[in-house]
C-alpha cells in the first residue's frame, strides 16, 4: 500500500478521498531529526511552508529508496531542494493554481488597510484613542500599482486593482505578457520610480536572493506603499525598516518573513507595518482546492 505523510495539515475532505482511494495516510508534523527517520517509511510526503525538505532529509529517504514524490501544497517550492531530489529520482510537484485568488485578495486587503490606516486604527481604538485627524488616508483610484513578477497571483491582483480604478504596471523576467495590454510592462527601475503601491509576486531562491534592498528602496517614490505576500527573503527586512523610519516607505504590509515565526522585533512592532502570519492561502476555498489538486496529483502518479 502506498503510504503518504502529511506534515503541515491538509483539507479533511481530501484526506478522506485519499483513504477511500486505497492510500494509507499519516498526518503528523515532525521536526528535522524525527523526519529524517520517518521519511524512509513513506512513498509520498506532502508539505506546506513549515516543513523544509533539504538534502539531509532526502539523503535519508534514499537509504530505502521508497520516497517517490514530494508535494508542496501551495505555489512555491523554495522549502524543497528540488534539483537534488529530482536528480535522485524523486519527483517534486506543487499546486500552483489553487491559491492564486486567495493570495490576490489578501494583497488587495492589505492595500486598503495601508491606504486607510485600518491596520493601526484598529489597535489604537482598542487602547481608547480617537485619532481621527491623524488617519487621513489616500484613495486607491487613480494610483499606480507596480507588480514585481507577473505570474498567476499577480495577474489576479492586477484584475482586481484595475477594477478599482488603479493604473497597473508590471515587470517580469519573462518580459511582456501577451494578452494583457490593459497593463503596462516596464523595467524594474522604471516600476520603482513610478509606483505609488508596489506588490511583490516572485519566488525566493538562492539565485535571485533579495529583490528589494537598500539600493532599490532608494529608487522608489517618497511615500510609497509596499506589500509582500510572496516570500520572506525577497525583501531585505533591515532595508525595509530603514525605509519606513526615513519615510521613503509610507507603510508596508508583510505576510511573509525572512524567518518564520518572525523574531524581527523592529519590523513587527513598527507603527507603520500591517502584519499577517503567512496566511495568503489560508482560506477555506483555497485549502479545499489545494487538497483536491493534491489528490489528483497522487492518484494520477500511482494509478
Q: Which three cell numbers stand for residue 197?
A: 503601491
What is the pLDDT, as a whole number, of residue 76? 81
Determine whether 116 is an active site residue. no
122 sits in the region (left: phi over 0; alpha: psi -120 to 50; else beta) called alpha
Is pLDDT at 97 greater than 90 in this prediction? no
Q: Which of 231, 237, 258, 270 is catalytic?
A: 231
Q: Does residue 141 share a domain with residue 17?
A: no
Is pLDDT at 275 greater than 90 in this prediction? yes
Q: Does residue 295 share a domain with residue 261?
A: no
Three-state SS for 70? strand
Strand partners, 228: 200, 254
For 52-71, what is each residue's pLDDT tens digit?
Answer: 999 999 999 999 999 999 99
β-pairing verdict for 3-6 and 44-47: parallel
**CATH number of the domain residue 174 falls in:** 3.40.50.720
Residues 6+ positions from 37 with CB-CB distance below 8 Å = 60
Determine whether 206 is an active site residue. no
User: What domain range includes position 144?
Assistant: 100-275
Q: Does residue 75 share a domain with residue 129?
A: no
Q: Which of 41, 139, 260, 285 is catalytic?
A: 260
Determine whether 29 is an active site residue. no
What's the domain count of the chain?
2
Q: Which of 48, 72, 110, 278 is catalytic?
A: 278
Q: Does residue 156 share a domain with residue 266?
A: yes
CA nearest neighbour of 267 among 247, 238, 303: 238
Q: Does residue 161 share a domain with residue 40?
A: no
For 12-53, what is each residue's pLDDT tens digit?
Answer: 999 999 999 999 999 999 999 999 999 999 999 999 988 999
The number of beta carbons lying within 10 Å of the beta carbon of residue 196 is 20
% of the chain residues with pLDDT over 90 = 94
Q: Which three cell numbers stand for residue 116?
A: 486607510
What is the pLDDT, as a whole number, of residue 208? 66
For 216-271, what is each residue's pLDDT tens digit?
Answer: 999 999 999 999 999 999 999 999 999 999 999 999 999 999 999 999 999 999 99
Q: Does residue 123 share a domain with residue 66?
A: no
What is the pLDDT, as a whole number, of residue 207? 65
Q: In the structure, what pLDDT confidence band is assigned to residue 96 with cuts at 50, 70 and 90? A: confident
Q: Does residue 200 share a domain with residue 137?
A: yes
| Stated pTM of the model | 0.91
What is the pLDDT, as a whole number, of residue 75? 84
Amino acid at each position: 500500500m502506498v503510504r503518504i505523510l502529511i506534515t503541515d495539515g491538509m483539507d479533511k475532505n481530501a484526506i478522506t478521498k485519499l483513504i477511500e482511494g486505497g492510500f494509507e495516510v499519516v498526518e503528523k508534523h515532525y521536526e528535522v531529526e524525527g523526519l529524517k527517520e520517518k521519511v524512509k517509511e513513506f512513498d509520498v510526503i506532502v508539505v506546506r511552508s513549515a516543513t523544509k525538505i533539504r538534502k539531509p532529509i532526502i539523503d535519508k529517504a534514499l537509504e530505502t529508496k521508497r520516497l517517490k514524490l514530494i508535494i508542496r501544497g501551495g505555489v512555491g517550492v523554495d522549502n524543497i531542494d528540488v534539483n537534488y531530489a529530482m536528480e535522485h529520482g524523486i519527483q517534486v510537484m506543487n499546486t500552483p493554481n489553487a491559491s492564486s485568488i486567495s493570495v490576490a485578495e489578501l494583497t488587495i486587503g492589505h492595500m486598503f488597510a495601508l491606504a486607510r490606516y485600518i491596520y493601526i486604527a484598529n489597535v489604537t481604538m482598542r487602547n481608547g484613542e480617537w485619532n481621527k485627524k491623524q488617519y487621513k488616508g489616500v484613495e486607491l483610484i487613480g494610483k499606480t500599482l507596480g507588480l514585481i513578477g507577473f505570474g498567476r497571483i499577480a495577474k489576479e491582483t492586477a484584475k482586481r486593482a484595475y477594477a478599482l480604478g488603479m493604473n497597473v504596471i508590471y515587470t517580469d523576467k519573462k518580459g511582456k505578457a501577451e494578452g494583457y495590454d490593459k497593463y503596462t510592462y516596464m523595467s524594474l527601475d522604471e516600476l520603482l520610480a513610478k509606483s505609488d503601491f508596489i506588490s511583490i509576486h516572485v519566488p525566493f531562491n538562492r539565485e535571485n536572493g533579495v529583490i528589494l534592498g537598500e539600493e532599490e528602496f532608494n529608487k522608489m517614490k517618497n511615500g510609497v506603499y509596499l506589500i509582500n505576500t510572496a516570500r520572506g527573503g525577497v525583501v531585505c527586512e533591515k532595508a525595509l525598516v530603514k525605509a519606513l523610519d526615513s519615510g521613503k516607505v509610507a507603510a508596508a504590509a508583510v505576510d511573509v518573513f525572512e524567518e518564520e515565526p518572525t523574531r524581527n522585533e523592529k519590523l513587527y512592532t513598527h507603527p507603520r507595518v500591517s502584519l499577517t502570519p503567512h496566511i495568503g492561502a489560508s482560506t477555506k476555498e483555497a485549502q479545499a482546492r489545494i487538497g483536491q489538486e493534491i489528490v489528483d496529483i497522487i492518484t494520477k502518479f500511482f494509478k
